Amino acid sequence: MVPLSTLVSMETVNGPEFTMRYNGYRGAQLFVSPTPGYSSGQVMQALEEVFKETMPVEMGYDYIGMSFQEKVAAEGVPASVIFGFSLLFVFLILAAQYESWALPFSVLLGTPIAVFGAFGTLWLFKLVAPQASENDVFVQIGLVMLIGLSAKNAILIIEFAKEEYEQGKSVTDAALAAARLRLRPILMTAFAFILGVVPLILSSGAGSHARILLGLAVFGGMTAASLIAIFIIPVSFYVVETLVHRDGGPHKPAPQEQGASGDGAHPHAPQSQAAPAFGRAQGGH
């Protein structure tokens, strides 16, 4: 018999009970959870930055489970495509309702102002809470909502301006009359909605970060659309109608067709009245 010590040498070492492999390669699995105030997307971005700075280029990484699904969803349809289709659908619906390709532009010109107000409010919130996100899925939902909410205010003005213009007023008078007439309803409905989202901004507890971001986006967008866009919409109506009609003067309604009488005479032409003719009777007794 040959002693085992002549063939091998034994020593005690510490190591893992098993070796994990991923797609045939030896790997290590990390379980990471975000701390309060940070989203899972921010954690994934931080992990990728640390991996690129510390690990050699021959090594790679991948996600599994819910992280993989979140990564696929984030790399799917970009938010710009979603916003573009939202604007397109709103434009087509307005074009069908107004039977015009020009008036929807007057309505949708208030949307950039609402988006500017939303991002401005989130930027101010970022100064107070640096760990907050400026553009996550909840903010994007709020921006899609603002497309319809800002268009609602513009529709109230454009609809009445269109009616005033069709009744014979000039473009300027029609726009000013519609703005004065619909100012109070717009402010009432807008501020009712703005005050309604204040509880979202002041929320706390589990999931409060998502509610705060959604509330801030809608709050800032509707405030800007109500206080700034309400002055821009009449101007946009004036510009669009002036470019379409080229004169800006009063609208001339189409003349109504007038029926003709059976004898071909004009219906308003004075008819000659036959006067009785008196003749002297001639003849003798």
Domain of residue 206, CATH code: 1.20.1640.10
End-to-end CA distance of the chain: 185
Count how many domains the chain has: 2
Residues 161 and 176 in one domain: yes
Q: What is the pLDDT along the chain (285 residues), one digit of tens a residue?
A: 788 778 888 888 887 777 788 777 888 888 888 877 677 778 888 888 998 899 888 888 888 887 887 777 677 667 778 888 888 998 999 888 888 888 888 888 888 888 888 888 888 888 877 666 666 778 888 888 888 888 888 888 888 888 888 888 888 888 888 888 888 888 888 889 899 989 888 888 777 777 888 888 899 999 988 888 788 888 888 888 888 876 545 555 545 544 444 444 444 444 444 444 444 444 444
Residue 248's nearest CA partner among 178, 158, 156, 165 is 165
**Up-side HSE of residue 265: CA atoms within 13 Å toward CB?**
7
Residues 166 and 201 in one domain: yes
Residues 111 and 183 in one domain: yes
Boundaries of domain holding 65: 19-73
Say if 198 falls within a structural domain.
yes
Domain end (from 31, 55, 73): 73
Tell me if 190 sits within 8 A of 150, measured CB to CB. Answer: no
DSSP letter at 6 equals G
Say if 26 falls within a structural domain.
yes
199: buried, middle or exposed (CB in 10 Å: 19+, 13-18, 0-12)?
A: exposed
Say if 275 falls within a structural domain.
no
Domain end (from 27, 44, 73): 73
Q: What are phi and psi of 164, to 5 degrees?
A: -65, -40
Q: pTM value?
A: 0.61
Say if 31 falls within a structural domain.
yes
Residues 170 and 216 in one domain: yes
